Structure 1
Amino acid sequence: MGRIGNIINRKGKQDAKRGAIFTKHARAIAVAAKEGGGDPEYNAALKTAIDKAKADNMPNDNISRAVAKGAGAGAGEDYFKNTYEGYGPGGVAVIVETLTDNKNRTAGNMRYYFDKNGGNLGTTGCVGFMFDRKGQILIAAEGISEDQLMDDALEAGADDIITEEDGFEVVTTPEDFNMVKDALVEKGYEFVSADVKLVPQTTTVLSEEGQVKSMEKLIDLLEDDDDVQNVFHNWEQA
């Protein structure tokens, strides 16, 4: 199974955790609204947060409440953005982006998750240089013409289109991501995922079964934590 198929499967598993996923989205929406105002037309970060929530089928009422909570003057909790970098089992590079109202709790949890699964937290910058921030739109192969997608994506302003065994990856600059995404939506394309991500320059393969299980457990623990917004790594899954 290719990378896009793996993501589809992972999203299916996350359906059972929908309440926790909505909590993460609500937090991201509220922070974006607080920082840049409650109108997504003039707040790109809020538009992206709302689009991600809708992709996970978060109800519009929940989204509206999160926007109102963030846009209200001084309303709600104060959340802080923190990024943690470290190594998983076998030297896999891992970056974790968090939004938390308690830095000490989050830092303790991050250290625990890494230590318990054959990894360790590093210092800021220890693996960050191994990733590039890019817009990444993944599209499943079924019913898609490669030539047509390439024409549409490049016309919309994409930097590159990478063909994989089970789909396509459209790559953009972070600045052009929303423009390209909106243009492809207008053309009728549906996405497996669409986000600005940290994309690894090189990948690491784990050959030992124990390391694979530990890496899977580490990712699960990180993604299940309400304070964690994004997990990026360079593990090449078979």
Structure 2
Amino acid sequence: MAGHSKWANIKHRKGAQDKKRAKQFTRAIKEITVAVKEGGGPDPETNPSLRNAVQNAKGVNMPKDTIERAIKKASGADADNYETVTFEGYGPNGIAIFVECTTDNTNRTVASVRSIFSKNAGSLGTNGSLEFLFDKKGVFTLEKESIEKDLDELELELIEGGASKFEKEDEFLTVYTEFTDFGLMSSKLEELELEPKNSEVQRIPINTVELPVDDAIKILNLVEKFEDDDDVQNVYHNLEITDDLIEEMEKQED
């Protein structure tokens, strides 16, 4: 898992380009829509899934009126009907890739995901074939500047809320919980009046595979192709994100 949160936070920081912002907004609106329809209605106070989706939408700087419109539309008769589908496969050098999608057209999504795998020296596997390579974890990203108390003191309080691991970067504190403690941590953060930049259940690789930088870049470029697809919500993989790889990718993005 080394480097995954750091790389995610670097991408988060650099994700202000119009294309990436539009994708983030689309993803957030889908999350809101699913939360309203499946999580228990349009009131964030009584719908924890929606409360979390709204939090994540704020985390990508979605305007308040856009969030409110998304909730209103999701509550109406003309709301989009989405379903969640997942795909598992391998990229070059045997790197495992898990793709989560939210779609209104499963046939289109299947064709698109299969095409991305096949055009990039990968292969689509059967569902369930990669489950043993990943653990579901709650992941909460806090901006350090929003934290007023001592970090060591805060960590002790968060352990009471189910925190099992912390990762500190320059601007962010990433908190991990067991999947079953996601709701407990959400409640703890509310109690402490801390609003995370992002909070979600992620698939964390149990073991990672380190590749030479040139080969690893091909994997991250493949991951980006998936992330650029409108139906894709999240992509997980077991590539080791090394400091050398981060340095090289930052050079390419500058």
Common fold: TM-score over 0.5? yes
Asked if the contact 1:118/1:214 (under 8 Å) is kept, the reply is no
- CA 63–175 in structure 1, closer or farther in 2 if over 3 Å, else same: farther
Matches within 5 A, 1:36-51: 36-51=40-55
Q: How many residues align?
A: 235
Q: What is the aligned counterpart of 1:206 among 202, 211, 222?
A: 211
In structure 1, the residue matched to 2:93 is 90
Indicate the percent of aligned positions where both proteins have the same amino acid: 39
- Give, in whole Å, the separation in 1 of the partners of 2:201 and 2:142: 15
Q: Give the C-alpha shift of residue 185 in structure 1.
A: 5.4
What 5-or-longer segments of structure 2 have no aligned partner? Answer: 243-254
- Give, in whole Å, the separation in 1 of the partners of 2:45 and 2:165: 27
TM-score by length of 1: 0.86
- CA 47–185 in structure 1, closer or farther in 2 if over 3 Å, else same: closer
- Give, in whole Å, the separation in 2 of the partners of 1:107 and 1:62: 29
Asked if the contact 1:4/1:140 (under 8 Å) is kept, the reply is no
In structure 2, the residue matched to 1:31 is 34
- Give, in whole Å, the separation in 2 of the partners of 1:87 and 1:212: 13
Q: What is the aligned counterpart of 2:166 among 162, 167, 170?
A: 162
**In the alignment, is residue 197 of structure 1 matched against residue 208 of structure 2?**
no
How big is the alpha-carbon RMSD for the aligned residues of Structure 1 and Structure 2?
2.5
Q: Give the C-alpha shift of residue 191 in structure 1.
A: 4.5
Matched residue SS, 2:115: helix
One-letter amino acid of the structure 2 residue matched with residue 44 of structure 1: P
Q: What are the Cα deviations for residues 14-66 of structure 1, in whole angstroms up to 9, with x where unaligned?
A: 22121221112112211221222112222222222111111111111111111
In structure 2, the residue matched to 1:149 is 154
- Give, in whole Å, the separation in 2 of the partners of 1:76 and 1:141: 37
**In the alignment, is residue 132 of structure 1 matched against residue 140 of structure 2?**
no
- Is the deviation greater in 121-130 or in 14-23? 14-23
Q: Give the C-alpha shift of residue 141 in structure 1.
A: 6.8
Asked if the contact 1:8/1:192 (under 8 Å) is kept, the reply is no
Q: Give the C-alpha shift of residue 126 in structure 1.
A: 0.9
- CA 190–44 in structure 1, closer or farther in 2 if over 3 Å, else same: closer
Matches within 5 A, 1:35-114: 35=38, 36-72=40-76, 74-114=77-117
In structure 2, the residue matched to 1:184 is 189
TM-score by length of 2: 0.81
Asked if the contact 1:30/1:68 (under 8 Å) is kept, the reply is no
**In the alignment, is residue 12 of structure 1 matched against residue 17 of structure 2?**
no
What 5-or-longer segments of structure 1 have no aligned partner? Answer: none
Asked if the contact 1:4/1:192 (under 8 Å) is kept, the reply is no
